[in-house]
């Protein structure tokens, strides 16, 4: 018989790291009661094993009554009750793997307890004893210190536990907060004692939780349970049997679905790693795994199973194989949905398309939604971009850097950047299209100011000196892609509103090249104020700006240059009706010709006079582009860029 002080020390040592795991108390007392009734079942064919669990709790205390109709504490069972470490051969024969330490949980988690038992003596007489805890004796769980009385005509054991102290009651309240009704507590019971229930046809468990009653038996769950047995040879070189159970539930399966393991017929967690099965399924299944293999590798509390990573991997692979076959129709349907989501993603985010692996998405058992595809692509792009900048900033460039700059990863990154840039251009063109429309959505005229379209092309008052200036992000590419970037020898100036200057000046000042200046005049997209004006039409206005520059370039754009040696070009961007009006006026003396491949755009070799002298003339090429032509041309170029990025065009190499 164990001494009280020794038993209390052992209880503290066993459960000190499990103070908040109140469920361990319920698990120990219920499993012992189940053991008792199943042992009696092996001896009596017509016997029906029953447990009655009554739990009542309020704001001040929790009372647990657990009774079973087992054999009670007869002469043979008494010695296993009085000595904690004595092994019970009847339990071991049934593979219950007892450790004889279950009552330590009562000592640690309960404030008081009482066993009431009726059993048969050697003469077949029914006797009753009541053993309280804690008692006044030095020993615990001692039969001899409590009187025996004749009673009843059937054997049973009833354990009553009372929990009312602040610390112990707090643990109970925390547990029952999560399982406060019979439905949730029933689910906990099945999850904890599943092997006992599924393997015993006649076992009946009646539960009352604050008066809310429920009954658990195999027939409750077996109708919606699928068993998948399999065998594996593991690291100990022995072949072990497993049972994978699929229990239908009211939920759905999404992502990683955990697989609950059992050791010694009780729920337990793997100490290293975990088992799960990943799938999306509208029908929900709870997944359990039972095997005698786990029994020898569980700790004394029955909480953790300590098996090797290699064994877990082998078990997981076999489970995947079994469940892939079980859910093959679901997987095929999921992959169809993922393929549809991938196509939608590719259409919506072409700049990220290169960063996803199509096979991994379509081959996934789960439904891969658009958000997940986007995140996967962003993560991969971030990895490559980090590698790109780490490599590109190294100096000097080594062979490895050169290999990366020409790698598929680098090409993916550049392709993505171009996609974003071309998509940006598309949004700019949509804005230009809205400016070209003469009527709003209500059919009313909508005159657009020159400043509106000016700001679309390039911000007013901006001077572009070189490509390191953030202001090189302009939209002059609408006119021609040669204006997309500027070097130190190719510059631009956007004048401020109200200045007596042209809208934009673009010039080249390279000692090794011909010096050039382009005067860019933007008109309203709906109506130019001076188209065909007899005082000064659009062409005359540009020639005047050229003359002003010729006479004083420093004042106009702060460019010290010999203006006699400069090539002059003027570009006017106006609506086609305004261009027609300008060219049909009497002010245009030179011949203008249609620009090839454009419908309403014209060019002419003109001149402007200097010093107001008709004899001193400087040649200037004037080009008049309609907004309609420029929009269609820029849109076509952009469409070609998109198709190039999608690899719709291929270069065919000559075999010779």
Q: Is 590 within a domain?
A: yes
pLDDT at 654 over 70: no
| C-alpha to C-alpha distance for 506 and 286, rounded to whole angstroms | 72
> Same structural domain for residues 418 and 520?
no
pLDDT category at 117 given cuts 50, 70, 90 is very high
Q: Indicate the residue among 210, 242, 268 that finishes a domain.
A: 210
pLDDT tens, 617-650?
A: 999 999 999 999 999 999 999 999 888 887 776 6
Residue 276's Cα: distance from chain center in Å? 18
Range of the domain at 110: 4-210
| C-alpha to C-alpha distance for 8 and 618, rounded to whole angstroms | 112
pLDDT tens, 258-302?
A: 999 999 899 999 999 899 999 999 999 999 999 999 998 998 788
Please give the full DSSP string across 206-256, using - where no structure is assigned.
EEEETTEEEEE-HHHHHTTEEEEEEEEE-TTS-EEEEEEEEEEESS-B-SE
| C-alpha to C-alpha distance for 308 and 549, rounded to whole angstroms | 85
Tell me, what CATH number does 138's domain have? Answer: 3.30.565
What residue ranges in 35-163 does DSSP mark as E strands?
Answer: 50-57, 62-68, 112-120, 126-133, 149-150, 156-163
Q: Is 651 within a domain?
A: no
> Same structural domain for residues 304 and 335?
no
> Same structural domain for residues 492 and 603?
yes
Q: Indicate the residue among 420, 441, 462 that finishes a domain.
A: 441
Q: How many CB atoms lie within 10 A of CB 138?
A: 12
pLDDT tens, 142-191?
A: 666 677 888 878 999 999 999 998 888 998 999 999 999 999 999 999 99
| C-alpha to C-alpha distance for 117 and 452, rounded to whole angstroms | 96
Region 221-227 average pLDDT: 85
pLDDT reported for residue 394: 61
Local structure of 187: helix, strand or coil = helix
What residue ranges in 367-495 does DSSP mark as E strands?
Answer: 463-464, 490-494
> Same structural domain for residues 52 and 201?
yes
Structure tokens at 118: 């009726």
| C-alpha to C-alpha distance for 68 and 23, rounded to whole angstroms | 19
pTM to 2 decimal places: 0.68
pLDDT tens, 68-114?
A: 999 998 888 777 777 776 777 788 787 776 655 667 888 888 899 99
- The percent helix, strand, coil of the chain (3-state, each to 5) is 40, 25, 35
pLDDT reported for residue 626: 97
Q: In this structure, are residues 579 and 624 in contact, taking their beta carbons and an 8 Å threshold?
A: yes
Average pLDDT of the chain, as a whole number: 88
pLDDT reported for residue 220: 80
Q: How many CB atoms lie within 10 A of CB 146?
A: 14
| C-alpha to C-alpha distance for 194 and 227, rounded to whole angstroms | 13
Q: Tokens 């092996």 appear where?
A: 42
Q: How many CB atoms lie within 10 A of CB 32?
A: 22
pLDDT category at 563 given cuts 50, 70, 90 is very high
Q: In this structure, are residues 166 and 155 in contact, taking their beta carbons and an 8 Å threshold?
A: no
> Same structural domain for residues 133 and 163?
yes
| C-alpha to C-alpha distance for 69 and 158, rounded to whole angstroms | 9
| C-alpha to C-alpha distance for 464 and 457, rounded to whole angstroms | 13
pLDDT at 544 over 60: yes
φ/ψ (deg, to 5) at 566: -100, 140
| C-alpha to C-alpha distance for 548 and 500, rounded to whole angstroms | 10
> Same structural domain for residues 161 and 183?
yes
pLDDT category at 370 given cuts 50, 70, 90 is very high
> Same structural domain for residues 303 and 154?
no
Task: Name the percent of the chain lying above pLDDT 90.
Answer: 55
| C-alpha to C-alpha distance for 274 and 312, rounded to whole angstroms | 8
pLDDT category at 246 given cuts 50, 70, 90 is very high
pLDDT reported for residue 256: 93
> Same structural domain for residues 556 and 416?
no
> Same structural domain for residues 387 and 425?
yes
Lowest mean pLDDT among 97-111, 317-331, 341-355, 599-613: 97-111
Q: How many CB atoms lie within 10 A of CB 274?
A: 12
pLDDT tens, 597-614?
A: 999 999 999 999 987 777
Half-sphere exposure of 473 (CA within 13 A, CB side): 5
Q: Is 41 within a domain?
A: yes
Q: Would you call the peptide bond into 439 cis, given omega within 30 degrees of 0 as the criterion? A: no
> Same structural domain for residues 417 and 476?
no
pLDDT at 398 over 60: no
Q: Is 642 within a domain?
A: no
pLDDT reported for residue 646: 77
| C-alpha to C-alpha distance for 603 and 542, rounded to whole angstroms | 14
Half-sphere exposure of 174 (CA within 13 A, CB side): 11
- Report the number of distinct structural domains present in the chain: 4
pLDDT reported for residue 139: 55
pLDDT category at 470 given cuts 50, 70, 90 is low
Q: Is 219 within a domain?
A: no
- Measured CA angle at 64 (ends 198, 152), to 5 deg: 85
Query: Residue 208's beta-bridge partner residues?
Result: 54, 213
Region 442-457 average pLDDT: 89
Region 29-37 average pLDDT: 93
Q: Is 353 within a domain?
A: yes
> Same structural domain for residues 466 and 513?
yes
| C-alpha to C-alpha distance for 106 and 387, rounded to whole angstroms | 60
> Same structural domain for residues 451 and 437?
no
pLDDT reported for residue 101: 63
Q: Indicate the residue among 441, 465, 488 that finishes a domain.
A: 441
pLDDT reported for residue 307: 95
Q: Is 487 within a domain?
A: yes
Structure tokens at 514: 């011909």
pLDDT at 397 over 60: no
Q: Is 483 within a domain?
A: yes
């Amino acid at each position: 018989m164990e001494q009280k002080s020794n038993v209390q020390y052992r209880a503290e040592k066993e459960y000190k790291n499990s103070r908040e795991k109140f469920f361990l108390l319920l698990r120990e007392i219920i499993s012992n009661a189940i053991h008792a009734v199943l042992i009696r079942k092996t001896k009596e064919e017509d016997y029906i094993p029953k447990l009655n669990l009554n739990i009542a709790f309020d704001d001040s205390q929790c009372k647990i009554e657990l009774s079973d109709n087992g054999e009670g504490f007869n002469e043979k069972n008494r010695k296993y009750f009085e000595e904690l470490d004595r092994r019970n051969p009847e339990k071991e024969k049934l593979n219950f793997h007892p450790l004889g330490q279950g009552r330590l949980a009562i000592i640690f988690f309960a404030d008081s307890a009482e066993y009431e038992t009726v059993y048969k003596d050697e003469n077949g007489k029914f006797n009753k004893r009541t053993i309280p805890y804690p008692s006044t004796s030095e020993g615990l769980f001692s039969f001899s210190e409590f009187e025996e009385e004749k009673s009843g005509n059937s054997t049973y054991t009833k354990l009553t536990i009372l929990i009312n102290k602040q610390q112990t009651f707090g643990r109970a309240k925390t547990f029952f907060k999560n399982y406060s009704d019979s439905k949730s507590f029933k689910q906990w019971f099945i999850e904890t004692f599943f092997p006992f229930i599924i393997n015993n046809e006649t076992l009946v468990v009646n539960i009352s939780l604050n008066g809310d009653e429920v009954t658990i038996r195999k027939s409750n769950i077996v109708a919606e349970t699928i068993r998948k047995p399999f065998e594996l040879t593991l690291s100990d070189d022995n072949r072990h049997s497993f049972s994978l159970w699929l229990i239908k539930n009211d939920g759905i399966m999404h992502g990683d679905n955990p697989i609950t393991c059992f050791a010694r017929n009780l729920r337990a967690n793997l100490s290293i790693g975990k088992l799960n099965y990943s799938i999306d399924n509208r029908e929900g299944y709870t997944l359990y795994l039972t095997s005698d293999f786990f029994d020898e590798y569980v700790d004394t509390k029955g909480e953790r199973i300590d098996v090797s990573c290699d064994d877990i991997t082998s078990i997981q692979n076999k489970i995947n194989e079994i469940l892939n076959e079980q859910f093959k129709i679901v997987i095929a349907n999921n992959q169809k949905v993922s393929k549809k989501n991938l196509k939608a993603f590719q259409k919506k985010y072409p700049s990220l398309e290169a960063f996803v692996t199509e096979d991994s998405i379509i081959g996934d058992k789960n439904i891969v939604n658009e958000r997940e595809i986007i995140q996967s692509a962003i993560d991969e792009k971030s990895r490559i971009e980090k590698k790109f900048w780490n490599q590109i900033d190294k100096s000097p460039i080594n062979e490895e850097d050169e290999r990366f700059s020409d790698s598929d990863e680098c090409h993916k990154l550049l392709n993505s950047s171009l996609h974003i840039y071309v998509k940006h251009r598309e949004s700019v063109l949509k804005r230009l299209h809205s400016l070209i429309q003469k009527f709003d959505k209500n059919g009313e005229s909508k005159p657009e100011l020159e400043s509106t379209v000016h700001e679309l092309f390039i911000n007013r008052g901006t001077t572009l000196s070189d490509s390191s200036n953030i202001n090189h992000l302009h939209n002059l590419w609408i006119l021609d892609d040669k204006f997309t970037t500027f070097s130190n020898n190719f510059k631009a100036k956007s004048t401020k509103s109200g200045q007596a200057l042209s809208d934009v000046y673009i010039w080249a000042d390279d000692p090794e090249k011909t010096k050039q200046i382009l005067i860019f005049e933007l008109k309203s997209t709906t109506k130019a104020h001076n188209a065909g004006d007899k005082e000064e039409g659009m062409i005359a206005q540009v020639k005047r700006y050229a003359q002003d520059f010729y006479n004083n370039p420093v004042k106009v754009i702060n460019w010290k240059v010999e203006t006699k040696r400069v090539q002059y070009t003027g570009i006017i961007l106006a609506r086609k009706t305004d261009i027609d009006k300008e060219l049909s006026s009497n002010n245009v003396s030179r011949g203008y010709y249609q620009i090839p491949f454009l419908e309403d755009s014209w060019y002419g070799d003109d001149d402007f006079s200097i010093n107001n002298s008709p004899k001193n003339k400087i040649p200037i090429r004037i080009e008049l582009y309609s907004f309609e032509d420029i929009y269609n041309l820029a849109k076509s170029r952009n469409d070609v860029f998109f198709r190039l990025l999608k690899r719709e065009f291929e270069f065919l190499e000559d075999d010779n």
